[in-house]
Structure formats: structure tokens, C-alpha cells
Amino acid sequence: MKKRTMKLGISIMGMARMPLATVTVQPFAGEADWKHGTELVCPQCGVKPHWIGGYNCDCGFKTSTWQGLKRILSSTKEAIVKTRLIAEKEEIIADLFTMPIEEFSNYVDATRTEYGVSVKDETSAKNLKKLIIATEKLGKVILVRYNDTYEQVIGILTLSLSNRVIIKDIIPLNLAEIKETLTVNVAEVTPQELAEAEQLIQMLPKALPEHFEVEDYRTKYMTEKPVSEKVIALEAIIQKAKATA
């Protein structure tokens, strides 16, 4: 989504929308372009190839994709080597870290992507639940760090708004380009603010199932409705293990 200004509003009893707030919406952080200052050249002779239905070099080298070329630093012509961090088929072991959520507010948790988390054994379910309890009830942030094929990944173990266990893959601090956004401290809320918020929420119409669906070019030509996987509660895994013990 590109940067947009929009009004948040509600429609009461079919009347015209009443605006509640005017906000600017944009991705509040992006990942720095590490490819800046580099170029793609022929892996055989080091010359920039021509594009004619593919990458063609005067030395005779051809490739249909840029991945077949060699990336070098424009300034020194040094080849950029992507060092493999884990061996092929190597088991990935992630390290966990924690910090108070107040301290974590000094960092950026802009998401690159989110991953659903699932477990099958009782021990994993119990320990995962303990970690989630720490994030929800003890004011802790659980940091997950692991090596992917060529990149180090930093994630946050947390719950989505629908109570799904997820790992938010966040942009590393030394790669993040931050844009303006808002933060709100709700640690100290007055009784009046709480009452006013509750009164405002009561004015909002209830979200219906159809509000979670879209109708645009992405769905216009779709012939089969996607089948969603079932959501499994950690408690169900624990109870099932107890029942079969």
C-alpha cells in the first residue's frame, strides 16, 4: 500500500459517515536496499551484458534471469559473495532472548512477514504456552534469532489479534529505514479516558464475516475458494496428550 491519507469514520443509522480521525497511512519502515552501489555483470568476462530476450554478453554467455549473473561492487569491482549460513538440510536452531516491553519500545518491530507457529508434542506446547504467557501477562518480549540459508533472521514470538501464535519476522535494526508513525502510551489511563473510549467503541457497528473478504481483481477470476487450515489451540494439544497418557 502506498502512502495515503484517509478519514476513519462510522455510519450511524444509515446517515452520512461521521469522521472520527484523519490519519496518514504508510509502511512505517522499510529495509535498506543493500544492492545500491552494485551492478550485475557477466560471470565469465565481467562485462555488463545486453538485454535481448535475456541477458546476452559479447563473450557468448547467455542467461534468461539476472540470477545467472554476478553481482559486484561498482566502486571496487569486488564480487559479492553470499556466504551460506547453514548447510543444506541442516536443522535450524533458534536462540531466544527476552527484554521488558518498556525497553523494547525503543526499537522498531516493523514486520517483513509473519509466520504461523504449530507444534505436535506436549512438551513443545507447554513451553510455547509459557513463553506466550510471559509476553501477555509478564510484560516481556521474546526475541527469536536464527540463521536462514544466507541471512540472519530476527523475529518476535507473539500472538496475533485472533490469538494465533506467530513469529513476526522484523526488519533488523541496522537495515531499517524508519518513517514517521505514532506511538501511544496506555500504561496510565484515567477513568474518564477509559469511559470515553468505551462510549466511542459502543458506537461502532459490529464486524461481520463479509467484512473480512474483498471483491476486486484478485477474486474476480478465482474459480475455487481457498481452503483454510484449522487453527489448533495449544490447550487442545496439551489436553490430548494428557488423555492418551
pLDDT per residue as tens digits for the range 127-142 = 999 999 999 999 899 9
Please compute the mean of the pLDDT values over residues 95-115 and round it to a whole number.
84
What CA–CA distance (Å, rounded) separates 141 from 107?
Answer: 11
| Residue 111: other Cβ atoms inside 10 A | 14
Question: How many helices, marked H, and strands, marked E, lie in the chain?
Answer: 5, 14
pLDDT recorded at residue 245? 72
Indicate the pLDDT class of residue 216, thresholds 50, 70 and 90: confident
* Alpha-carbon separation of residue 47 from 44, 61, 70, 75, 77 (angstroms): 8, 10, 10, 15, 11
**pLDDT value, residue 221:** 67
pLDDT of res. 26: 66
pLDDT at position 108 over 80: no
pLDDT at 219: 77
Whether 228 has a pLDDT exceeding 70, the answer reads no
3-state DSSP assignment of residue 147: strand
**Which region holds residue 105: left if phi is over 0, alpha if psi is between -120 and 50, else beta?**
alpha
Could you count the other beta carbons within 10 Å of the beta carbon of residue 144?
A: 21
At position 54, the amino acid (one-letter code) is G
pTM as predicted: 0.73
Mean pLDDT of 53-71: 92
The pLDDT-based confidence of 223 (bands split at 50, 70, 90) is low
- For the stretch 7-61, pLDDT in tens is 777 777 767 677 777 877 766 667 777 788 889 999 999 999 999 889 999 999 9
Cell of 230: 484449522
What are the tens digits of pLDDT across the range 178-207? 776 677 777 778 899 889 888 877 877 787
Mean pLDDT of the chain: 83
Compute, in degrees rounded to 10, the torsion defined by CA atoms 177, 183, 185, 190.
180
